[in-house]
């Protein structure tokens, strides 16, 4: 009788060539970019000493670049926000390092606490705000590097039209 639990490995699994791919120097997939963000978040020595807080505008610092991508460190004092925007042709990973940020989209509002990640596609429209009473710090990865950040004027809670029926 065969079932999924009957799987057996014969021979030396380390000899299977597709399992022996050398590690990449730079991320190339969404999962690898999210993993990079988690590893930077976990190692406070990479970013904590760089953080500054500016009451007049959001503070940001380009932490690292690689082939086609950028990592940005941002701080948010209470009340600061990004405004409603998208990231042009770039996809991104937003990771909250400290504090709490609130993300507003046409589909609703989500609180993002330390450790939370959001992966978004090009053209994804959102607004990020520090609605809390304490500062927050976040890490943003953009691929390709951010060259355009169109601002939107539509109300942040305006509902999107429901998708229509799928037709052939």
pTM: 0.79
Look at the chain and report how many structural domains it folds into: 1
What are 17-31's pLDDT values in tens digits? 665 667 788 899 999
Report the SS3 class of residue 46: helix
CA–CA distance, 88 with 65 (Å, rounded to integer)? 18
| Alpha-helical runs (H) found in the chain | 30-42
Is a pLDDT exceeding 90 seen at residue 4?
no
Is a pLDDT exceeding 60 seen at residue 1?
no
Q: Residue 65 is part of which domain span?
A: 27-143
Identify the CA nearest to 36 among candidates 45, 24, 20.
Answer: 24
- The CATH number given to whatever domain includes residue 81 is 2.60.120.10
What are 129-168's pLDDT values in tens digits? 999 999 999 999 999 999 999 999 865 444 444 444 544 4
The answer to whether position 149 is within a domain reads no
Residue 71 and residue 146 in contact, taking contact as beta carbons nearer than 8 Å: no
85 is in an annotated binding site: yes
What are 58-75's pLDDT values in tens digits? 999 999 999 999 999 999
What's the pLDDT at 17? 62
What's the pLDDT at 24? 80
The answer to whether position 163 is within a domain reads no
The answer to whether position 153 is within a domain reads no
Rg, the chain, Cα only: 20
49 is in an annotated binding site: no
The answer to whether position 15 is within a domain reads no
The answer to whether position 8 is within a domain reads no
What's the pLDDT at 15? 64
């Amino acid at each position: 009788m065969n079932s999924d639990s009957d799987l057996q490995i014969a021979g030396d699994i380390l000899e299977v060539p597709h399992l022996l791919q050398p590690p990449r120097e730079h991320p190339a997939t969404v999962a690898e970019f999210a993993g990079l963000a988690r590893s930077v978040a976990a190692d406070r020595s990479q970013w904590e000493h760089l953080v500054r807080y500016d009451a007049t505008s959001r503070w940001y610092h380009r932490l690292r670049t690689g082939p086609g991508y950028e990592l940005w460190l941002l701080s948010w004092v209470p009340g600061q926000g990004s405004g409603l925007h998208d990231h042009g042709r770039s996809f991104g990973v937003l990771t909250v390092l400290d504090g709490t940020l609130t993300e507003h989209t046409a589909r609703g509002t989500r609180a993002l606490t330390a450790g939370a990640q959001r992966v978004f596609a090009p053209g994804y429209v959102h607004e990020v705000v520090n609605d809390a009473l304490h500062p927050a710090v976040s890490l943003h990865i953009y691929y390709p590097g951010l060259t355009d950040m169109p601002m939107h004027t539509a109300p942040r809670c305006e509902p999107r039209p429901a998708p229509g029926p799928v037709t052939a």
